[in-house]
């Protein structure tokens, strides 16, 4: 049965954090028709529309999380206090036991966490992505879903990962809120044939690729010892770069690699919390990447390595780390941090023309943020961007809309019941957590 059309919506007299080219912050109205903004500014027409009084709220574009593994929600805390090698050893063992049902349960929990913290779009990398897609479809978020691709001899997937990715794309292409894509895991499990196969799949499907890149020194040094080239340079050498792509982490890069990624227009998912927690050791060269022309967004990575899906927290940490590392408090100012989480994230996934800002014609993905919340006092227009970058709590996010439809209303999920979602995730955790993973004194 076809769903009923969404009625027009007007939000009146709100503080609009536009993220438009001039980064206007103004009092005004929004009108949404057909899932897109049709008016941004004073005196929106109200005819035929549902009206939300917005004087107590800031309207903020929905956050775009450019790297996560959302279905890992039941694994929060399962591999804490280990470096990447130890973390992956634990996670690969757990992944081998996962079922499609528990992946869907985990995805629903992770999506609920993201929606309740203002994220309206996310880029995922995992397997059993059909289960994630069903959760996306059910709960109303927007998603870019990358099917994990590895060399056939290194995977626990049934069948060939490239074939699985291609079939997944065929099943979900055309969905209004889901963009399916191939996602090579990384150079440590993907050889040349797999990388070029992923590129071919993306080109045929007119989509992009997502992958991990240069997350640790060990990854870089082992690949260089094996091939004679650092990962980014090797990807260029074999003919992979050039297809639209988003690379996660990008911590251990040389100046040559930074310039290459900029010239090749590779999007970068900066994941500071995960990099710090897994002791990657370096600080991603965000400033240099931006200067080289790369589009940088923010990613949370999974709750197994962060352990949060909050983009507000990620903004805050991204700014502090860069300032401290460079001894320069002016680096990555509040406005730049909000850009990373909104318009730049949208550009990284190839959707800057219709996501990431409050502009007429763009898709109406946005949050209503309570101006009376303690973390936003004083609620002055000239301070709101700073508050979002440095102090705002997830609890300040009152309601969330995707294409003009409410998916969170007054801190309550609209299209799912949290008690049931939580129960499903807890059952999945019972089956996945090893007995030895309980905390030790």
Give mean pLDDT, residues 415-421: 97
Give the residue range(s) of CATH 3.20.20.140 domains in the chain.
64-348
CATH number of this structure's domain 64-348: 3.20.20.140
Q: Are 235 and 266 in contact (CB under 8 A)?
A: no
**What is the pLDDT, as a whole number, of residue 3?**
55
Question: Is the CB of residue 17 less than 8 Å from the CB of residue 384?
Answer: yes
pTM given for the model? 0.96
Q: What is the pLDDT of residues 348-399, one digit of tens each?
A: 999 999 999 999 999 999 999 999 999 999 999 999 999 999 999 999 999 9
Measured distance CA(29)–CA(96) in Å, rounded = 50
pLDDT class of 435 with cuts at 50, 70, 90:
low
DSSP bridge pairs for 16: 26, 59
Rounded mean pLDDT of 260-275? 97
CA 2 to chain centre: 30
Give the pLDDT of residue 440.
42
Instruction: Give the closest residue to 214 by CA, choosing from 133, 284, 301.
Output: 284
Closest by Cα among 340, 334, 320 to 383: 334
d(CA 365, CA 376): 21
Predicted confidence band of residue 196 (pLDDT cuts 50, 70, 90): very high
Looking at every residue in the chain, the average pLDDT score rounds to 95
- List CB contacts of 80: < 8 A, sequence separation 6 or more: 307
CATH class entry, domain 9-62+357-413: mainly beta
**Other Cβ atoms closer than 10 A to 221:** 12
Q: Prior bond to 307 cis, omega within 30?
A: yes
> Helix (H, G, I), strand (E, B), or coil: what is residue 42?
coil
Intervals of CATH 2.30.40.10 along the chain:
9-62+357-413
Per-residue pLDDT tens digits for 208-241 = 999 999 999 999 999 999 999 999 999 999 999 9
Quick check: helix, strand or coil at residue 187? coil
């Amino acid at each position: 049965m076809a769903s009923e059309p969404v009625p027009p919506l007007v939000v009146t007299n709100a503080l609009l954090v536009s993220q438009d080219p001039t980064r206007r912050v103004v009092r005004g109205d929004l009108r949404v028709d057909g899932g897109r903004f049709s008016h941004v500014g004073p005196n929106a027409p109200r005819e035929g529309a549902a009206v939300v009084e917005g004087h107590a709220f800031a309207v903020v574009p929905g956050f775009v999380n450019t790297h996560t593994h959302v279905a890992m929600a039941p694994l929060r805390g399962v591999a804490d206090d280990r470096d990447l090698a130890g973390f992956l050893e634990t996670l690969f063992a757990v992944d081998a036991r996962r079922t499609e049902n528990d992946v869907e349960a985990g995805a629903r929990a992770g999506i609920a966490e993201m929606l309740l913290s203002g994220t309206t779009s996310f880029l995922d990398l995992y397997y059993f992505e059909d289960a994630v897609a069903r959760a996306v479809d059910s709960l109303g978020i927007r998603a870019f879903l990358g099917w994990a691709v590895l060399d056939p001899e290194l995977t626990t997937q049934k069948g060939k990962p490239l074939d699985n990715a291609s079939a997944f794309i065929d099943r979900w292409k055309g969905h209004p809120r889901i963009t399916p894509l191939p996602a090579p895991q990384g150079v440590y499990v993907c050889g040349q044939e797999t990388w070029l196969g992923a590129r071919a799949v993306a080109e045929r499907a007119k989509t992009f690729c997502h992958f991990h890149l240069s997350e640790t020194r060990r990854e870089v040094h082992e690949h260089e010892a094996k091939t004679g080239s650092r990962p980014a340079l090797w990807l260029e050498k074999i003919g992979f770069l050039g297809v639209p792509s988003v690379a996660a982490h990008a911590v251990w890069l040389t100046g040559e690699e930074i310039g290459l990624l900029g010239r090749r227009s590779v999007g970068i998912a900066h994941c500071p919390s995960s990099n710090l927690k897994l002791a990657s050791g370096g600080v991603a060269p965000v400033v240099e990447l931006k200067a080289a022309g790369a589009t940088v967004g923010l990613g949370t990575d999974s709750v197994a390595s962060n352990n949060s899906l909050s983009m507000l927290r990620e903004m805050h940490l991204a700014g502090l780390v860069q300032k401290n590392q460079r001894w320069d408090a002016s680096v990555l100012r509040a406005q730049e941090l909000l850009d990373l989480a909104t318009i730049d994230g949208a550009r990284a996934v190839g959707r800057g023309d219709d996501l990431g800002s409050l502009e007429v014609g763009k898709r109406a993905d946005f949050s209503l943020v309570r101006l009376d919340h303690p973390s936003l006092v004083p609620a002055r227009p000239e301070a709101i961007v700073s508050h979002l970058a440095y102090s705002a709590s997830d609890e300040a996010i009152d309601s969330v809309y995707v294409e003009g439809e409410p998916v969170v209303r007054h801190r309550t999920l609209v299209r799912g019941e949290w008690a049931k979602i939580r129960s499903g995730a807890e059952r999945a955790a019972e089956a996945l957590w090893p007995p030895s993973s309980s905390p030790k004194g």
